[in-house]
A and B are shown apart, each in its own frame.
Chain A
Amino acid sequence: MSLWILLAAALAVAIVVVVALPFLREPAPVSDTLHELDPAERRLLEAEEARDRALAALQELEADHRAKRISDEDYRAVVGSLRRDAAEALRALDRLGRGGTSDAEAKID
């Protein structure tokens, strides 16, 4: 029985060390604050998501049209608005100071 208690105590000590590790490694850190995105970074991330979404939609439409999954008529009906969305997303990124890549712009062209 004493062996099991000894093992339980060893387990408890090991666990306390693991849990306390961040404090043991940095007893007096310069900063103990979690980084959070500021409003500008958040807007930028949302704009990047919108750009990726628009470009992915455009790419998928092109692939579907190439594979004849989508008729010419349906393709023409949608491609304009998708291109406008992608261009708008890139402009939004430009306004935030981080333009889309030339690769992305080439896809729209």
Chain B
Amino acid sequence: MAEFGRAALLLTFGLAAYALVGGGYAAWRGRRRLAHSARNALIASFFSTLVAALVLVAGFLRDDFSLAYVAGHSSRALPTPYKLSAFWGGQEGSLLLWLLVLTGYSALAVWLARKRARDLVVWVTPVLAGIALGFTWLLVAVSSPFDVIAAPADGSGLNPSLQNPYMVVHPVALYLGYVGLAVPFAFAMGALLSGRTDERWIVATRRWTIVAWTALGIGQLLGAHWAYVEVGWGGYYAWDPVENAALMPWLAATAFLHSVMIQEKRGMLRVWNVTLVSLAFCLSLFGTFLTRSGVVTSIHSFTKSSIGPWFLGFIVVAVVFAVGMIWLRLPQLRTTAKLESLVSREAAFLYNNLLLVALCLTILWGTAWPMVSEAVRGETMVVGRPYFDFFLRIFGLPLLLLMGIGPLVAWRRASLRGLTRTFAWPAAVALATGVVLIALGAGSSTPGLVAYTFSAFVLATIVHEFARGTSARRALTGEPVPTAFGRLIGRNRRRYGGYVVHASIVLLAIGIAGSSAYDSVTEGRLTRGQSLSVGGYTLTYRSLGEREAANATEVRALLDVRRGGKDLGTIQAGKNAYSVEQQVSNEVGIRTDYLTGEDLFVIAEQVDDNGAVFFRIFVKPLVNLIWLAGLVFLLGSVITLWPDAREERRLATREARAGARSDTPATT
């Protein structure tokens, strides 16, 4: 079976090489049949990669420990869902997942754009093939998932922290995001290679960018929830290098999604947009490098390996290629449109871009600092949480405020008097919120208070926008409120979907501010019958139990929970000892108050032989708004992504009028 997997990967390698060389030559010399053949090769590479992936899945499901990768990441006792997620539990499988998603995206992207942007696709094909070739090379020559060994009686099992339902979906979502950024990058490079620097590459990739950005955002939130419930340290984001590695391309893509609107509306920022999309893609490669190379210490770096230099070389090639192409096409990318006023929507989007990129680059500096310091000084120095928290506040809070201001300022220029009128109501709501919060004692944390006040301002602008838009539509059409509201969104999905996404970011900000600036914590060693109090809760340690599960011994401490004299039931926290993996994991207890969004979070840090347990207990106000933000974010993204038939017709008409004609039967 391993031979079949290896052969499938070799086929992918051959197809990618053919699509790169043949496709590049066809685009350069204008060879139609060769271009289509290269496009078919890129599409076929998805199917050969899929075969390789299925072979590996079969290896896991059949407990085929003659495959070294399966033996190293699974065991007979491992539950079936985790046998499937063990696919991406190690380096080789992760790279194969990267390649599978990349070839899948590539096949779909070139197929869907074959008519609308056919002269771009001929250049996009070799770019995507080049990326696929790099990853296939790693899988074929450096780190193969199909290496065979003399089969042991049982495998070594899967890292216990990966034995969590979130690990079935979190890495996949994250990879859908990372890899998805390859598509807008390839179209941007295709536009530069072909000299077609008009806005068609943006139109062709707008949805791809949003899909990748959404997946990356959801993937990060799933990862945060995994860290919260599984890693057991009491938080959800630790500025871990690998967490940062996913955040950075997301920030760059967020900046791109905003700045691209300026190009669409005003024809400005063409150089900036291709730079941003290249930055986002290169950061996604950097993220994979950080996760898989083992150059930084991270809870996510499950393996150390030799692919680091290869990956670094790959990133250097991508950066040099992107910079070279932008430099080469600078004259065509220049535009005559200028920023007319510093008080305008395009100026607000520009400020938003500068803040996002500044935040992204400061995170990059903090993340890369251990590597830089080791290279320069010979010793690894790490910047801690205060560094990242400081820059998050410095750049994040103005960004939050801009989210409310930007969409309501007129394009080109706006008067201060007009702005005062537009923002009077939201500003009053924000001010009132701030006063009430101070009265309630929220002034104990200035950043928290500012975050809440700004959040109130943004939410007020969003609610006002929906109300005003619905009212204007009703006045125009006489429709009832629900119809006017529904059609308002339906007729302008990008705008109102964007507002919903903004609302999700506000929820996220409130959740983060509440759970980090206003949380409470206590700790102590308890024997049976003793109690600890924190944040109005009193927890009494009642008993300790032990049971044998399929692949672990589970120890659980049971605690009674009371608040204000009211019995709230019990909560359990403890540890799992995994016999095959010879590892122990924290299994935290969480009690959620769905009305207030608050969590009571219990960690059993240490269980003594005499039955005493050292507990750490947190009360995290509003933390559940973070997870709710994920659902709202997804809803906003879906609204934005939903196809707009009128826009499709307009673009098709423009293409037809410009004289672009079919040069081939579409089915080849």
- Given A15-B11, A15-B48, verify A78-B412 contact (CB < 8 Å): yes
Is A5 a contact of B3 with CB atoms below 8 Å? Answer: yes
For B35, B51, B122, B657, the residue with the greatest tally of chain A CB atoms inside 10 Å of its CB is B657
Additional A-B contacts beyond A34-B30, A42-B196 (9; CB < 8 A)? A22-B36, A29-B33, A32-B32, A34-B32, A34-B663, A36-B119, A53-B265, A66-B476, A67-B469
- Given A48-B654, A52-B654, verify A11-B418 contact (CB < 8 Å): no
- Residues in A neighbouring B8, C-beta threshold 8 A: 8, 11
8 nearest CB pairs, A to B: A71-B418, A8-B7, A67-B472, A45-B658, A35-B663, A4-B4, A22-B36, A74-B418
Q: Tell whether B665 is near chain A: CB-to-CB under 8 Å.
A: yes
CA distance A74 to B26 in the complex (A): 52
Q: Tell whether B385 is near chain A: CB-to-CB under 8 Å.
A: no
A38-73 vs B, CB cutoff 8 Å, 1 = contact: the mask equals 000110111011101100110011011011111101
Q: Tell whether A95 is near chain B: CB-to-CB under 8 Å.
A: no
Q: Which residue from chain A places its CB closest to the CB of B3 in the assembled complex?
A: A4
Q: How far is the CB of A66 from chain B (nearest CB, A)?
A: 5
- Given A8-B3, A34-B32, verify A61-B659 contact (CB < 8 Å): no
For B18, B43, B44, the residue with the greatest tally of chain A CB atoms inside 10 Å of its CB is B44
Q: How far is the CB of B642 from chain A (nearest CB, A)?
A: 19
- Given A53-B265, A53-B267, verify A70-B7 contact (CB < 8 Å): no
Is A32 a contact of B660 with CB atoms below 8 Å? Answer: no
Q: Tell whether A19 is near chain B: CB-to-CB under 8 Å.
A: yes
B228-266 vs A, CB cutoff 8 Å, 1 = contact: the mask equals 000000000000000000000000000000000000111
Interface residues of B in 408-424 (CB under 8 A from A): 408, 410-415, 417-418, 421-422
- Residues in B neighbouring A73, C-beta threshold 8 A: 415, 417-418
Q: How far is the CB of B450 from chain A (nearest CB, A)?
A: 26
Q: How far is the CB of A64 from chain B (nearest CB, A)?
A: 7
Neighbour of B33 across the interface among A32, A41, A46, CB < 8 A: A32
Q: Tell whether A18 is near chain B: CB-to-CB under 8 Å.
A: yes
CA distance A15 to B48 in the complex (A): 8
B14-48 vs A, CB cutoff 8 Å, 1 = contact: the mask equals 01001000000011001111111100110110011
- Given A25-B668, A33-B30, verify A19-B417 contact (CB < 8 Å): no
CA distance A1 to B3 in the complex (A): 8
Is B264 a contact of A60 with CB atoms below 8 Å? Answer: no
Q: Tell whether A37 is near chain B: CB-to-CB under 8 Å.
A: yes
- Given A4-B3, A45-B654, verify A67-B468 contact (CB < 8 Å): yes
Q: How far is the CB of A32 from chain B (nearest CB, A)?
A: 5
- Residues in A neighbouring B408, C-beta threshold 8 A: 69
Using a Cβ cutoff of 8 Å, how many contacts connect chains A and B? 161
21 pairs of residues in contact across A and B, judged by CB atoms under 8 Å? A15-B11, A15-B15, A19-B15, A22-B32, A22-B34, A22-B36, A34-B35, A35-B661, A36-B119, A37-B119, A41-B659, A45-B198, A52-B650, A52-B654, A53-B267, A67-B469, A67-B472, A68-B472, A70-B422, A73-B418, A98-B657
- Residues in A neighbouring B657, C-beta threshold 8 A: 44, 48, 98
Is B44 a contact of A19 with CB atoms below 8 Å? Answer: yes
Q: How far is the CB of A68 from chain B (nearest CB, A)?
A: 6
Q: Which residue from chain A places its CB closest to the CB of B421 in the assembled complex?
A: A71
Q: How far is the CB of B31 from chain A (nearest CB, A)?
A: 6
For A45, A56, A82, the residue with the greatest tally of chain B CB atoms inside 10 Å of its CB is A45
- Residues in A neighbouring B665, C-beta threshold 8 A: 25
For A20, A41, A42, A70, the residue with the greatest tally of chain B CB atoms inside 10 Å of its CB is A70
Is A48 a contact of B658 with CB atoms below 8 Å? Answer: yes
By secondary structure, the A interface counts as: helix
Q: Which residue from chain B places its CB closest to the CB of A72 in the assembled complex?
A: B418
By secondary structure, the B interface counts as: helix
Give the number of residues in A that approach B within 8 Å (Cβ atoms). 54
Is B658 a contact of A33 with CB atoms below 8 Å? Answer: no
Is A19 a contact of B31 with CB atoms below 8 Å? Answer: no
- Residues in B neighbouring A20, C-beta threshold 8 A: 37
Q: How far is the CB of B398 from chain A (nearest CB, A)?
A: 22
CA distance A67 to B583 in the complex (A): 61
Is A11 a contact of B7 with CB atoms below 8 Å? Answer: yes
Q: Tell whether B153 is near chain A: CB-to-CB under 8 Å.
A: no
B412-453 vs A, CB cutoff 8 Å, 1 = contact: the mask equals 111101100110000000000000000000000000000000
Q: How far is the CB of A27 from chain B (nearest CB, A)?
A: 10
Neighbour of B422 across the interface among A33, A60, A69, CB < 8 A: A69
- Given A50-B267, A53-B265, A60-B411, verify A22-B40 contact (CB < 8 Å): yes
CA distance A34 to B464 in the complex (A): 51
Interface residues of A in 1-15 (CB under 8 A from B): 1, 4-5, 7-8, 11-12, 15
Q: How far is the CB of A63 from chain B (nearest CB, A)?
A: 8
Q: How far is the CB of A108 from chain B (nearest CB, A)?
A: 17
CA distance A26 to B97 in the complex (A): 36
Is B32 a contact of A41 with CB atoms below 8 Å? Answer: no
Q: Which residue from chain B places its CB closest to the CB of A27 in the assembled complex?
A: B33
- Residues in A neighbouring B3, C-beta threshold 8 A: 1, 4-5, 8
Neighbour of B413 across the interface among A1, A44, A46, A77, CB < 8 A: A77
Q: How far is the CB of A103 from chain B (nearest CB, A)?
A: 11
- Residues in B neighbouring A46, C-beta threshold 8 A: 198
Q: Which residue from chain A places its CB closest to the CB of B42 in the assembled complex?
A: A19
CA distance A35 to B414 in the complex (A): 45
Is B659 a contact of A70 with CB atoms below 8 Å? Answer: no
- Residues in B neighbouring A18, C-beta threshold 8 A: 40-41, 43-44
